[in-house]
Amino acid sequence: PFSTFDAVVIGAGAAGLFCAGIAGQRGLRVLLLDHGEKVAEKVRISGGGRCNFTNRELDPRAPHKHFLSDNPHFCRSALARHTPADFIGLVQKHRIPFHEKHKGQLFGDHSSDDFIRMLLAECAAGGVTHWQPCTVGGIAANGAGYELQTSRGPVRAGSVVVATGGLSIPKIGATDFGYRVAQQFGLRVVPPRPALVPLTFDGEAWAPFAQLAGLSLPVRIATGEKKERVAFDEDLLFTHRGLSGPAVLQISSYWREGTPIRIDLAPGIDLAAELMQAKARSRRLLANELAQWVPARLAEAWVQQDAAWQRPVNEAGDKALQQLAQRLSNWELVPTGSEGWRKAEVTAGGVDTRELSSQTMESRQPGLYFVGEVVDVTGWLGGYNFQWAWASAHACAQALAPA
């Protein structure tokens, strides 16, 4: 009673849908299954509902610049063979209107549903068999292929593609399925951790800033020492529990527990010099002077930290002004933790790329492939994670062979 296919793709998210469609259009008999009721729930909620589907700034000569991995150059081959321009071509073919927002980020004009419809249309064009909801009980290697026990009966296939994504947002169906399959076949997994996630702070040191929830300002943010140092120029957002906004989401992917982050709250401004000039010409309160360079609410909260800062600028000591400038432009703080899987946009870590071919995404276990976020390749905020899903799915789909 086996259903027989050339390839089974597990997970109907961004990577699984794209992979199944291309493989089907190459003439393969493809089964796509997902344990959820709906396809591509993460595409649906992505980019605030508009799907930031790729990024024009992805550098084809150095694609690894925008991605993290224990094996930084692994992603190059796939990203070079399916570029943002290639994916944009498909979006245009489907007449989906889009626009560029910030730093090369491309978003749909209407809704992420446009992209889901496009992916489903590509699957239909490839004659892909689609089972949902359907769970996989077990996978066994069997001579030249695989046997799967599923809630819709047993399946035989030449290849299995694992496209089950990462652990973020368990509420919409994330599972550790992909990591368990890797372990079953003796493939290493880089420990997964939440990335692109707000950072939290607590204790007395945070008390003065809790009142700033909702405040946003442009900053330069950095973490890591010397050669490991990474920095971003983006907006910072104060929340009730800590810090968020693009600046913090970006740095969170690089941040390691117990280490500090450093924030320049007035980037590009020589605050020490500005404050000394203000001292020479003004009698206003220091907080009022500061409000020229940072938001007034922040200036107000900031001076509460030291009595020497709660006075007219002309009465403040030079040293107090220098300290104030130094602390604002190099605010060093150690996050207590992150908001975790509930809020993380992606999962860093995953199936160790040293177990995979960078050309095809096939693992050391012949016929078993991993694509998308389940792999230890994590993009920056701004469309890079979808571009990795498309590119890795494309590399795999080109390599799949009839059983």
Binding residues vs ligand FAD (CB under 6 A): 10-16, 34-36, 41-42, 45-47, 51-52, 135-136, 163-165, 168-169, 173, 175, 177, 345-346, 372-374, 383-386, 389
41 or 355: CB nearest ligand FAD: 41
Q: How many Å from the N-terminal Cα to the C-terminal Cα in the chain?
A: 18
Shortest distance, position 369 Cβ to ligand FAD, whole Å: 12
Shortest distance, position 47 Cβ to ligand FAD, whole Å: 3
Q: What is the DSSP string of 83-117?
A: -HHHHHHHHHHTT--EEE-STTEEEESS-THHHHH
The DSSP 8-state label assigned to residue 298 in this structure reads: H
Shortest distance, position 363 Cβ to ligand FAD, whole Å: 16
Largest Cα separation within the chain, whole Å, is 88
249 or 271: CB nearest ligand FAD: 249
199 or 278: CB nearest ligand FAD: 199
> Helix %, strand %, coil % for the chain, to 5?
35, 25, 35
Shortest distance, position 149 Cβ to ligand FAD, whole Å: 12
200 or 253: CB nearest ligand FAD: 253
20 or 324: CB nearest ligand FAD: 20
Shortest distance, position 158 Cβ to ligand FAD, whole Å: 20
The DSSP 8-state label assigned to residue 312 in this structure reads: B
Shortest distance, position 210 Cβ to ligand FAD, whole Å: 25
Shortest distance, position 92 Cβ to ligand FAD, whole Å: 18
For helices 14-25 and 384-399, the axis angle rounded to 10 degrees is 30
150 or 329: CB nearest ligand FAD: 150
What beta strand segments (E) does 34-89 contain?
A: 52-55, 67-68
112 or 329: CB nearest ligand FAD: 112
- Tokens encoding 253: 């992917």
For helices 84-93 and 384-399, the axis angle rounded to 10 degrees is 90
- Among positive and negative, which fits the CA dihedral 64, 384, 89, 160? positive
Looking up tokens 């590399």 gives: 395
Rounded distance between C-alpha atoms, residue 271 and residue 113, angstroms = 47
Per DSSP, the three-state class of 311 is coil
161 or 285: CB nearest ligand FAD: 161
Residue nearest to ligand FAD (CB): 13
Shortest distance, position 18 Cβ to ligand FAD, whole Å: 8
